[in-house]
Amino acid sequence: MIDGLIEGLSNIVDPVLLGLMFLGVMIGIFVGFLPAVSGLLGTALMLPAVVGMKPLMALPFLLALHAVTYTGGSMTAILINIPGTGPNAATLIDGFPMTQKGQAGRAMGAAIASSSLGGILSVVFALIFIPIVIPLVRLLYSAEMFFIIIMGLSFLAVLAGSSPIKGLMAGGLGLLFSFVGFQSTTGIPRFTFGSVFLLDQLNIIAVVIGLFALPELIDLATRRKTIALCESAGIGGWTDVWEGVKDVFRHFGVFLRGTVVGYIIGVIPGVGAETAPFVAYGQAKQASKHPEKFGTGIVEGVIAPESANNAKEAGALLTTLAFGVPGSAVMAILLGAFFLVGIVPGPEMLTDNLGLSFTMLLGIAVANVMAGIVCLAFAPFATRITKVHPDYLFPVILVLGLTGAFAAGAQILNLAVVVWFGVMGFFMNRFHYSKPAFLLGFVLGMLFEHYFWHALNLQGPFFFMRPVSLLIILAIVLIFVIKPLKAHFRRASRKRPITEA
């Protein structure tokens, strides 16, 4: 193993490889910055470019491109409330309210630093836990995956803040919308009302743009003020960006937990790229001493999802390398790239091709360092958008959002989806229903149903009796029990001095 690590280190300092990776990083940041042009599309478009390349050059290039798209995507989520990629949807929950407070520079500094450092730290985890993670992954079957999704859904009430009932209702509505389209096991169409367009399910980018961006755009146009509501606030210079970077270390526990959540979810095949940042956000809110402030524009709400976003990539790569089972949709494309350059993924990647595997893992860390430097340098200039008058900004953001929704599936009817969910988002704002809870239900709903039917078919009605499943169920119970217990002990500690007196 040490020999493979040394080989990987010697490979990664090759000037040609570093130059190629830097090109991939610049493409990845640009792709992430454009709404709906995800790392999935960017990686797919670059596949023809790697034909004929050596594996040592081609695979780190593609990984560098994909690994930093979420860093670029966080910028549009924070600045204009439109996520550059699907997983950045969790970032806009607190990122955009920070921009409205005149803290765009701070939010971007925190997002870029936590995203880049999370990606680097996850590589360290991957290098340390390679001997441990692989046996653990083999213990996870459909039943365990189902309960992991349940664990994610258990954060619905947490995301709702002071009204858990409304949070559960919003999450349930999100679940309902996730069932639109073909049923995962029988192929029977549901809730399509005879529409061929709805057979392919609702596109998450169109849903997010409608739910979050459109109501804010309407508000921006009607109030006739800039995005930054605080008129006396600056546009966010180097000082503000650096303050955001320091916030990551001030809230290091939030950052570390988000990174661990992202890495673990990344290791598990099929859980989905959008899951990790929402689970990390919900966990950070639950662990916070002031959960009611989440969603109002606090920096912890930016750090948690962004640290998970890039951290999951090292975990997903490890699963792809070890088993030939893609840990995410992009890793499935990367799997195709393996075959294009003559490499067969599987257990041999951790034995015969260990040097290449370490080169790829280290490449993720190097790409995150490059992306962090580039994005931090660009951030103070990007924040100027928050002071542009809405007469100029409104049409640009509207066109960008609608173009992103259309590009996400090349379907003109995605624009109708944006309008529908824009109206829903307006009424959810008005009656104080949690949009993040709705989005979490929507994101996890398809996986929830898929793993439920697989577990039922493969393990029977008592699939929940498996030992690992019981451990996950215990963890779910603790999620609901810990907060009331903490509140009880806090009340008891307040009463004790009075009684003693």
Give tens-digit pLDDT for 66-79.
888 888 888 888 88
Specify the range with the lowest mean pLDDT, choosing from 378-382, 404-408, 413-417: 404-408
Instruction: Give the list of residues 6+ apart from residue 82 with CB closer than 8 angstroms, or none.
Output: 35, 76, 92, 208, 209, 212, 213, 397, 400, 401, 404
Distance of alpha carbon 199 from alpha carbon 216, whole angstroms: 29
* Element counts in the chain: helices (H) and strands (E): 22, 2
Res. 121 pLDDT band, cuts 50 70 90:
very high
How far, rounded to the nearest angstrom, does the alpha carbon of residue 81 sit from its chain's CA centroid? 15
In angstroms, rounded to a whole number, what is the distance separating the alpha carbons of residues 119 and 116? 5
Are 126 and 316 in contact, with CB atoms under 8 Å apart? no
User: Can you tell me the distance from the alpha carbon of 278 to that of 305, in angstroms, rounded to the nearest whole number?
Assistant: 6
Tell me the whole-structure pTM to 2 decimals. Answer: 0.68
Report the alpha-carbon distance of residue 204 to residue 83 in Å, rounded: 11
Structure confidence by residue, pLDDT tens digits, 326-354: 656 667 667 777 777 777 676 667 767 77
Q: Is the dihedral of CA 414, 270, 213, 404 positive or negative?
A: negative
Tell me the mean pLDDT in the region 259-270: 80
